[in-house]
Amino acid sequence: MPFEIVRNDITKMYADAIVNSANPMPIIGGSVDLLIHQAAGPELIVARKEIGKINVGDAKLTKAFQLNAKYVIHTVGPAWVDGKHDEFEFLQKCYEESLKLADINQCASIAFPLISTGTYGFPKDKALKIATEVIQSFLNTHEMTVYLVVYDESSFKLSEKLFDKISAYIDKNYIEEHEMKFFSSDINLSMIPDEEEYQPIVSRSENISIQKKREWKDLSDEIGETFSEALLRLIDERGKKDAEIYHLANIDRKLFSKIRSNKDYQPSKMTAIALSVALHLNLDETKDLIGRAGFALTKSNLSDIIFMYFIEHKIYDIYEINKVLFFYNLKELGGI
């Protein structure tokens, strides 16, 4: 998918460019900077010294040497003071300048750490918001795979407001659903009437006779539109362009082309839901569209509960949804 949050060591990532949260001076700092220099080998600091000082918010490019990448993009993030010393603007510039360099050098993929959240103390939830907003804006007009690499659980944080709302919704729906399943085992089966009390409206022989008279065309008409046909109709009805929808859905152009060119294309559930979100479908419309691909939303599935929360609250932001899915160690929306 074009954007993905991954839990990994950034030095183990395979990407055309790996972003280093660097020291402004040509020395090896701590945290991500140290790990990248150790993995790249001694040649990296030599190349870094040739650049000299890098100003806060700027980005410079070197070869990646022994890393699984072509380039290392060195960017200097801001140290957090109180949010009133241009920290947000400088952090935004770090991502923008790094993406610009990757684009100029024809990179198909780039891996970012969560810049400035280590030694520089930038609040993780605020840094995450800036990172995803800049990346989303860039991917609306560019074709590139962007990874946001989080080293461990302590490196990632949702805003307290979003976390509280999601948690309450999950508690109300997901947990109650499981409680209902538990108590359903106590139902007294003697209360259920015997099957013999009911008579079929149509006898078995009559039913078979009716079925024989049905034509294949009738069956086809009942099935209705395929997922692909319904998707393309919805795009046209809403006056949208294909590129707008697949960017909003966090899927790449190649995958969307497959869906468009094959009326019987079978998407994954995550792709189907991502496209529903991109189209701003309500809950009933979402269930109808994904149902045409053979999928359903259920309160017994945590991912589905999260999807329903965002759809019911009309929050049609794939990046915001994926942050929550990542937080709960669930598969993210989108597709390649």
pLDDT digits (tens, 9 = 90+) for 48-70: 999 999 999 999 999 999 999 99
- Model pTM above 0.75: yes
Laid out side by side, the sheet with 145-150 consists of: 3-7, 145-150, 109-112, 17-21, 71-75, 59-63
For Cα atoms 9, 14, 15, give the angle at the middle one, nearest 5 degrees: 110
Buried b (16+ CB within 10 A) or exposed e, 17-56: bbbbbbbeebeebeebbebbbebbeeebeebbeeeeebeb
For residue 182, the model assigns a pLDDT of 45
For residue 177, the model assigns a pLDDT of 57
Query: What tokens appear for 221 in the block?
Result: 């008409």
Query: What is residue 79's DSSP assignment?
Result: P
Query: What tokens appear for 332 in the block?
Result: 């993210």
Active site includes 33? yes
In the chain, where the domains are located: 3-155, 160-187+223-327
Has domain 3-155 been given CATH number 3.10.580.10? Answer: no
Radius of gyration (Cα) for the chain, nearest Å?
26
Per-residue pLDDT of the chain (336 residues; tens, 9 = 90+): 699 999 999 999 999 999 999 999 999 988 899 999 999 999 999 999 999 999 999 999 999 999 999 999 999 999 999 999 999 999 999 999 999 999 999 999 999 999 999 889 999 999 999 999 999 999 999 999 999 999 866 667 787 888 899 999 999 988 655 555 544 445 454 444 444 443 444 444 444 444 444 444 444 444 689 999 999 999 999 999 999 999 999 999 999 999 999 999 999 999 999 999 999 999 999 999 999 999 999 999 999 999 999 999 999 999 999 999 999 999 999 866
**Residue pLDDT, tens place only, 170-206:** 999 886 555 555 444 454 544 444 444 434 444 444 4
- 251 and 143 Cβ atoms separated by less than 8 Å: no
Task: Check 33, 103, 236, 252 and give the catalytic one.
Answer: 33
For residue 336, the model assigns a pLDDT of 60
How many helices (H) does the chain have, and how many strands (E)? Answer: 15, 6
